[in-house]
Structure 1
Amino acid sequence: SGSDWNAASGGAIDNAVAIAFNEATGSWGTITHFALFDASSGGNMLAHGSLSASQAITSAQVLKFSAGDLDITLG
């Protein structure tokens, strides 16, 4: 929601709260990019980009972005 993000400044915005995904039930492989959608199923892609470092997600791991870690610049 809107309250999950800090106010935009100079075309940049970052997450105000931690974003955690469900525990992986198997290997997700190595992730290198992210995408934000306006719905949990289907929906429209609002933004996408590459991660600063790739992450190998294994079974039982929880992918988490701490507050301020997901930076998006528009423009």
Structure 2
Amino acid sequence: MSFSNYLEQKVLNDNLVNATVYLALFTSAPGEDGTGTEVSGGGYSRQPITFGAPTDDGAGSMQTSNSAAVEFPIASADWGIITHMGLYDAETGGNLLDFGSLNSTANIQENNQFLINVGDYTVKIN
């Protein structure tokens, strides 16, 4: 069984494009059950992330990417080595919606800032 493009687009719109979601940073891999080590302390907080209209990726899947840059606060203490990111439906607590590993890790030390450029976080449903 496979989702139709209509349903894929609807899922992305209902849960990301037309919803308030937050980007979280992890120093260990999150699991399907929401486990993993999220950054804490040192001025860290999840940041709101916005997504653009879903598009067809040309291979039978619908996808959406962040439509604005995401800037985390400047770290007031070391955050550690960021290995993964994830989306939550709440600024604190909440439910993990999506997660993945970074293409390259980032060691965020005091006075560093973690940034995500436009289009660098993509969610695809196939």
TM norm structure 1: 0.87
Percent identity (aligned): 31
Larger Rg: 2
Instruction: Give RMSD over aligned pairs.
Output: 1.6
Alignment partner of 1:59 out of 106, 110, 114: 110
Structure 2 contact 78–109 (Cα < 8 Å) conserved: yes
Partner letter of residue 37 of structure 1? Y
Equivalent residues in 2 for 1:19-58 (5 A)? 19-58=70-109
Gaps of 5+ in 1: none
Structure with the higher fraction of residues in strand conformation: 1
Question: How many residues were matched structurally?
Answer: 75
Structure in which a larger fraction of residues adopt helix: 2
Q: Which runs of 4+ in 1 moved over 4 A?
A: none
Structure with higher RCO (Cα < 8 A, 6+ apart): 1
In structure 1, distance between residues paired with 2:105 and 2:53: 27
User: For residues 116 and 87 of structure 2, what CA distance do their matches in structure 1 show?
Assistant: 13
Give the distance between the partners of 1:50 and 1:12, measured in 2 at CA. Answer: 18
